[in-house]
A and B are shown apart, each in its own frame.
Chain A
C-alpha cells in the first residue's frame, strides 16, 4: 500500500498543511481518507471516524467540513448568540466540524419567533417561523383566536381559530439563504387535539366552512418570483404542510425578502376549528410530514 509520498517538486496541501490539526505531508493515508470523506455526507463521515486512526483524523479535518458547510456559514454563525466577547472569541476559533454541529441545532432569531438549522445529511438550510411571527387578522380577539400551548409545536404554542369571517395569515422574512431552491409551507391542523389518559384525542368541534371555498396561498420574493395557488383544507386530525410555493436563490450572499400568506376572506360564510402552527421553509424535495400541494397553481420564477 502506498505508505508515503516521496520527494515532490513543491509542497502540496497549501493551506491545509498550515492549519493546526490538519493532515501533514507525511500523512498520506489520512489525506487519502479525507479525499474519500469529501465525497460522503456528514452522517457517513462521523460514522467512519471509528474506522482507524487515519480516518479519525480525516473525519475531523477542517477542509472536509468546510466543503459540507453552506457557502455563507460565517454569515449564519452571526445569528448564533451567547457568551458575549468570550463566546465570540470561542466561535472564531471553532473548527469547521464544530460549526456544522452548532448550525445543525436550531438557531433562534427575531426574538425567538423564528429559527433556522442545517438538515444534518446535506447541510442545507431549513427554517421555521412561529405563529407569533405571523400577522394573523383578529389574533387579539379572543372570540376568534387563542394561543394554545402544545408540545406538538416546535415553538410550544399554536394559534387556534374558533371561528371568523376573514381568515388571513400573513408573514414576512428577510434572510440570506444559500444558493438553491426552497419550498415554503404552512403547517396546519384541522380540529382541536389534546391528551386524554395519555392518548392523543382529536375533536372536530368548531371545524366548519373549509369545504365552502378554497384557501388561497401566495408567495412573493423581492426579486420578482411569485407563486399563487388555492386548495381546500382537508385531513382533519393530523398536521399537514400546505405548499404555498417555491423560490429560487441563484446568487450567493443574496439577502432575499419573502412575503407569503394564506387567506380565505369570503365573508358570506364563517370558518373555524383550525390550528396554525408555523410556516416552514425546506430545501425543495426535503419534507418529513404530510404535504398537500394545490392542484391549480401558477408559479413564476
Chain B
C-alpha cells in the first residue's frame, strides 16, 4: 500500500449514493475493509492524488453513510491491540450500530451496499443478524419479516419440495 507523499492530503475513496451524495473515507480504510477496493487499487498503478470514485447510484444515502461509518470504525479497531475488552467493546458497538432503529428495509440496503464493495466485515454482521431473525421461523413469517413477496408458482413449489426431500430426516 503506497504511503501518501509527505505534505499532500491523504488519498481518499468516495462512495456516491443515490441523489449524488458523496461519502469519503481514507484510502487506508478502504483497503482494509473492502475487497473490491483492494483489487482496484492493486490494478491501478499510478493515479496521483486523484480520489477513487465508486458509484452506488441505486442505494440511498443513509445506508451508504452507515457503510462508511462501519469501515472507519473497523479500520480503527484493527489498529488497536486485541484483547477481551476490545472484543467486548466491538460487540457492543456492533449492537448499537444495528440497533432497534434499523428496520429490515435499511438492513437490506446496508447488505446491498456492503456486497457492492465486498466489505466482508459488514456483510458478515448483517447476514448474521438476518440469519438470527429468520432462524426457526416459517416461510410465511420470514416473508413478513423481510418484506418478501412469494413469487413462486405451484409447480415450482412442488419441484422444490421434491428436490429437497433428501434433507428430511
> Quick one: given A6-B58, A8-B54, A10-B43, are A105 and B152 in contact (CB under 8 Å)?
no
* Cα(A209)–Cα(B166), bound, Å: 45
When the two chains form the complex, which single residue of A9, A40, A53 contacts B54, counting CB atoms closer than 8 Å? A9
> A176 within 8 Å of B by Cβ?
no
B156 A10 Cβ-Cβ under 8 A: no
When the two chains form the complex, which single residue of A1, A32, A51 contacts B142, counting CB atoms closer than 8 Å? A51
B36 A1 Cβ-Cβ under 8 A: no
Q: Mark B60-102, 1 if CB is under 8 A from A, else 0.
A: 0001000000000000000000000000000000000000000
A3 B134 Cβ-Cβ under 8 A: no
B128 A39 Cβ-Cβ under 8 A: yes
> A52 within 8 Å of B by Cβ?
yes
A46 B164 Cβ-Cβ under 8 A: yes
Point out the residues of chain B lying under 8 angstroms from A12, CB to CB: 35-36, 115-116, 118
Distance (Å) between the CB of B84 and the closest chain A CB? 24
Chain A residues with a Cβ closer than 8 Å to the other chain, count: 38
* Cα(A104)–Cα(B166), bound, Å: 9
* Cα(A54)–Cα(B156), bound, Å: 13
> B28 within 8 Å of A by Cβ?
no
B160 A7 Cβ-Cβ under 8 A: no
> A267 within 8 Å of B by Cβ?
no
> Quick one: given A1-B108, A6-B55, A8-B54, are A56 and B160 in contact (CB under 8 Å)?
yes
> B40 within 8 Å of A by Cβ?
yes
A-B contact count (CB 8 A): 111
B131 A39 Cβ-Cβ under 8 A: yes
B55 A53 Cβ-Cβ under 8 A: no
> A82 within 8 Å of B by Cβ?
no
> B39 within 8 Å of A by Cβ?
yes
Distance (Å) between the CB of B132 and the closest chain A CB? 9
> B57 within 8 Å of A by Cβ?
yes
8 A Cβ contacts from B87-133 to A: 105, 108-109, 111-113, 115-118, 123-124, 127-128, 130-131
Point out the residues of chain A lying under 8 angstroms from B150, CB to CB: 51-52
Q: Is chain B's binding surface mostly helix, strand, loop or mixed?
A: helix
Distance (Å) between the CB of B72 and the closest chain A CB? 21
* Cα(A44)–Cα(B167), bound, Å: 10
> B155 within 8 Å of A by Cβ?
no
B56 A31 Cβ-Cβ under 8 A: no
8 A Cβ contacts from A1-48 to B: 1-10, 12, 28, 31-32, 35-36, 38-40, 42-44, 46-48
Interface size bracket, B side:
35 or more
When the two chains form the complex, which single residue of B108, B123, B148 contacts A51, counting CB atoms closer than 8 Å? B148
B160 A40 Cβ-Cβ under 8 A: no
* Cα(A105)–Cα(B130), bound, Å: 30
* Cα(A12)–Cα(B56), bound, Å: 14
Q: Mark B127-161, 1 if CB is under 8 A from A, else 0.
A: 11011001100010011000111111000110011
> B59 within 8 Å of A by Cβ?
yes
> B169 within 8 Å of A by Cβ?
yes
B112 A50 Cβ-Cβ under 8 A: no
A53 B151 Cβ-Cβ under 8 A: yes
Point out the residues of chain A lying under 8 angstroms from B63, CB to CB: 2
> A216 within 8 Å of B by Cβ?
no
Distance (Å) between the CB of A21 and the closest chain B CB? 13
> A259 within 8 Å of B by Cβ?
no
Point out the residues of chain B lying under 8 angstroms from A133, CB to CB: none
Point out the residues of chain B lying under 8 angstroms from A31, CB to CB: 115
> A101 within 8 Å of B by Cβ?
yes
Point out the residues of chain B lying under 8 angstroms from A173, CB to CB: none
B131 A52 Cβ-Cβ under 8 A: no
> Quick one: given A5-B116, A28-B112, are A52 and B127 in contact (CB under 8 Å)?
no
8 A Cβ contacts from B1-58 to A: 35-36, 39-40, 43, 52, 54-58
Point out the residues of chain A lying under 8 angstroms from B52, CB to CB: 9
CB-CB nearest 10 A-B residue pairs: A2-B112, A46-B164, A6-B57, A39-B131, A46-B167, A101-B166, A9-B40, A5-B116, A36-B130, A36-B127
Binding site for A on B (CB under 8 A): 35-36, 39-40, 43, 52, 54-59, 63, 105, 108-109, 111-113, 115-118, 123-124, 127-128, 130-131, 134-135, 139, 142-143, 147-152, 156-157, 160-161, 163-164, 166-167, 169
